[in-house]
Amino acid sequence: MLSLAASALPATRTHRRDAASHSSSVRLLRSLARSRRADLAHRALLLFRSLQSTPSPPPPHVSLPAVLSAAAFLSALPEGRQLHGLAAKLGLAPAHTVVANSLLHLYSSCGLPGAALDLFRRIPDRSLVSWNTAVDALVGNGDHLAALDLFREMQRDTELAPDASLVSWNTAVDALVGNGDHLAALDLFREMQRDTELAPDAYTVQSVLGACAGAGALSLGVYAHAMLLRELGGDGDGEAVSRDMLINNSLVDLYGKCGALELAQQVFDRMPARDLASWNVMILTLANHGRVCESVELFDRMTQMEKMAPNAITFVAVLSACNHGGLVEEGRRYFAMMVDQYRIKPRIEHYGCMVDLLARAGFIEEALDIVAGMNCRPDAIIWRSLLDACCKKNAGLELTEAMAKLALEVPDDAVSGVYVLLSRVYASAQQWNNVGMVRRLMVEEGVKKEPGFSSIEMDGLVHQFVAGDTSHPQSEAIYGKLDEIQLKLTSAGYKPDLSEAPLVASVDNAKGAALQLHSERLAISFGLLNVMPGAPIRILKNLRVCKDCHTISKLISKLYGVEIIVRDRIRFHHFKDGSCSCKDYW
């Protein structure tokens, strides 16, 4: 650790005669600090220390911001604290805004948002840089909601609000995306467009692309893509965009997550160069859309023809493909390849794919062997995969109850799913006392089933539905369409599958009525009313599709001659001509 806090001398006439020397020293200090090289940033710290030892050091309000920049780049917290002490001794922190801003950046770079926010609150004359740096510090530490609150506080500052920069808005939008509040991020972006004259830049659009991908908002994503072409396509034909690997990877991810697989493939195919992330996102996109063989073939092309070494993320993608397609032998082979050939230590995600693949295929004992040999503690997802497989394969009450107990012992927000699965097992075995016991446990422990919702984008607006929703302006027409759909389904011989109806609905008629009000059915009804003829209905659902909704979606696609694309928590389902891309294996 360097000792940087030497006493600074008061200015004298002699020192003023050294102004030219000061200017030269400060320029060198700034140049070293801005080099973005660790060795040169370290030299900046050494130079600052040596300058403090001279009879006439440079003015601290000029030299401190430069050396603090070097310390921030190095995440040199001990030296940074010394510099803070020196600045405070000289009355420059927090009084001098530029020095204080440099200290904010230092604490942000060192992962100390609390220290940054404490200093921020004590700056008497905060600049726009002060606000942006404090917001960015919170975002960098994952405190996204606090970052947004600070941004809103800045907006309420009547003197500062008119000067709110694009950086401010970008940081706030990015904070919401980072927190998973994709719809709120899109709303904030619209607010920026509506209430300011700021033109979005590439950074804005990158955040918007992430929000569109998360919300499944295809038309907004296409609009963001067009903005990118305007922003970076100064050559007139968008070549600058096509050459940007990071942007193209984001576009593949966007179109893949919005259900536009053809567009994702088009962007990938047109990329002049691809990095490992490009291959990873395309392999996973194909897997999630049920194009399992193409996903596996792309992995083989990457490793064999392109000679590119896969990483841990690549194997998550290809094992996901095997899992979605029930390719047991291929999954075993790729898992062994990862460990033996590429010497990649399995992570919880790899184990999760293998356990789910084997258990769903009926190899429950082999799946349990994998769990026993894991190099990390099984999470709730793994135990739920085993529990789900036990339920579907009728593995017996004893084993099912054991899996449920293990799943409940692991802290997890989705614990309600375990109770629901266990209740269905007891119901299948006609053990109604145990069904009642599970319900009582859920009530006693305050466990509530995660509310499901389905959303559909139309003309840039995302419409969200929950089960039994009547809040939509078109509710009357939506329910009228649902009645029409039900009549057509009944005429086609449809009978509801009551096995996954709500626990609280114990009468078959009540269960059937509850199924009819599932959120994705409302979204499908809305889509049939509003989507242009020939266009697919694209729906995002936060939970897995239930058996009955999967069945009726296939029937509706045939009865109405429409393609329905549903993205659930696990994967995509492309319903067309009465069949699904998952081949009823999900």
Is the confidence at residue 414, as pLDDT, over 90?
no
pLDDT band at 392 (very low <50, low <70, confident <90, very high): confident
Our CA dihedral for 146, 151, 153, 155, rounded to 10 degrees, sits at -160
Cβ atoms of 189 and 204 within 8 Å: the answer is yes
Q: Is residue 8 scored above 50 in pLDDT?
A: no
CB atoms within 10 A of CB 493: 7
Task: Return the pLDDT at 370.
Answer: 94
DSSP 88-130: HHTT-TTTSHHHHHHHHHHHHHTT-HHHHHHHHHH-SS--HHH
Please tell me whether residue 257 adopts helix, strand or coil conformation: helix
- The pLDDT of residue 16 is 47
pLDDT at 413 over 80: no
CA distances from 479 to 389, 471, 482 (A): 36, 12, 5
Nearest partner of 25 among 55, 3, 5, 47, judged by Cα = 47
Quick one: which H or E segment has residue 175? Answer: helix 166-178
| Sequence-separated contacts (24+) of 325-328 with Cβ below 8 Å | 325/290, 325/292, 325/293, 325/585, 326/357, 326/360, 326/361, 326/585, 327/292, 327/296, 327/357, 328/357, 328/358, 328/361, 328/363
- Assess contact for 94 and 133: CB atoms under 8 A: no
**Residue 477 corresponds to which tokens in the numbers above?**
């027409």
540 pLDDT exceeds 90?
Answer: yes
Sheet holding 537-541, edge to edge: 461-466, 453-458, 537-541, 564-567, 572-576, 579-580
Helix extents (H) in 393-494 = 397-409, 416-428, 432-444, 475-491
**Nearby residues of 211 by Cβ (< 8 Å), 6 or more positions away:** 173, 176, 177, 182, 183, 185, 186, 189, 217
User: Which residues lie below 8 Å from residue 86, measured CB to CB, with a gap of 6+?
Assistant: 4, 5, 6, 8, 60, 64
Say if strands 572-576 and 579-580 run parallel, antiparallel, or are unpaired: antiparallel
Q: Is pLDDT of 163 > 60?
A: no
pLDDT tens sequence across 180-236: 889 889 999 988 888 888 888 878 888 899 999 999 999 989 988 888 787 665 554
Sequence-ordered list of residues with C-beta below 8 angstroms from that of 334, at least 6 positions apart, any chain: 299, 315, 318, 319, 322
- Mean pLDDT, range 551-555, rounded to an integer: 96
- Is the pTM here over 0.85, yes or no? no
Question: The tokens of 100 are what?
Answer: 């204080």
| Cβ–Cβ under 8 Å, residues 575 and 583 | no
499 pLDDT band, cuts 50/70/90, is low
Provide the pLDDT for residue 229: 80
Tens digits of per-residue pLDDT, 574-586?
Answer: 999 999 999 998 8
Instruction: Tell me if 557 sits within 8 A of 563, measured CB to CB.
Output: yes
Q: Which of the listed ranges 37-46, 383-392, 564-573 does the model predict with the highest average pLDDT?
A: 564-573
DSSP secondary structure, 228-248, as one string: HHHHH-TTSSSHHHHH-HHHH
Measured distance CA(282)–CA(313) in Å, rounded: 12
> Does an H or E element contain 144, and which?
helix 144-156
Which range is least confidently modeled, 189-203, 313-327, 469-483? 189-203
- Does residue 565 surpass a pLDDT of 60? yes
User: 10 Å Cβ neighbour count for 235?
Assistant: 11
Q: What is the model's pLDDT at position 15?
A: 44
DSSP-derived secondary structure letter, 542: S
Q: Which residues contact 25 (CB under 8 A, 6 or more apart)?
A: 47, 51, 58, 63
Q: Please, what is the end-to-end C-alpha distance for the chain in angstroms?
A: 57
Among the residues of 271-396, which ranges form H helices? 276-288, 292-300, 312-325, 328-336, 348-360, 364-372, 380-392
Q: Which residue has the tokens 């194909």?
A: 286
Q: Tell me the pLDDT of the chain averaged across its residues.
A: 85
Between CA 522 and CA 343 the distance in angstroms is 48
Question: Looking at residue 162, what DSSP letter applies?
Answer: G
Query: Mind listing the pLDDT tens digit for each residue in 97-148?
Result: 999 999 999 998 898 988 999 999 999 988 888 988 898 888 888 888 888 8
pLDDT over 80 at 340, yes or no: yes
Which residue in 402, 342, 338, 346 sits closest to 370, CA to CA? 346
**Of 572, 560, 577, 476, residue with least CA distance to 524:** 560
User: pLDDT at residue 87 above 70?
Assistant: yes
| Peptide bond connecting 94 to the previous residue in cis, omega within 30 degrees of 0 | yes
CB contact at 8 A, 140 and 116:
no
Range with top average pLDDT, 158-172, 367-381, 465-479, 498-512 = 465-479
Question: How far are the Cα atoms of 325, 356, 364, 388, 406 from residue 369, in angstroms, in the given order?
Answer: 22, 13, 9, 17, 15
Q: In terms of Cα–Cα distance, which of 211, 180, 217, 257 is closest to 457? A: 217
User: Longest C-alpha distance within the chain, in Å?
Assistant: 100
The answer to whether residue 307 scores a pLDDT higher than 90 is yes
Per-residue pLDDT tens over the stretch 246-305? 889 999 999 999 999 999 999 999 999 999 999 999 999 999 999 999 999 999 999 999
Q: Are 110 and 77 in contact (CB under 8 A)?
A: yes
Q: Are 208 and 220 contacting, i.e. CB atoms less than 8 angstroms apart?
A: yes
Tell me the C-alpha distance between 50 and 63, whole Å: 12
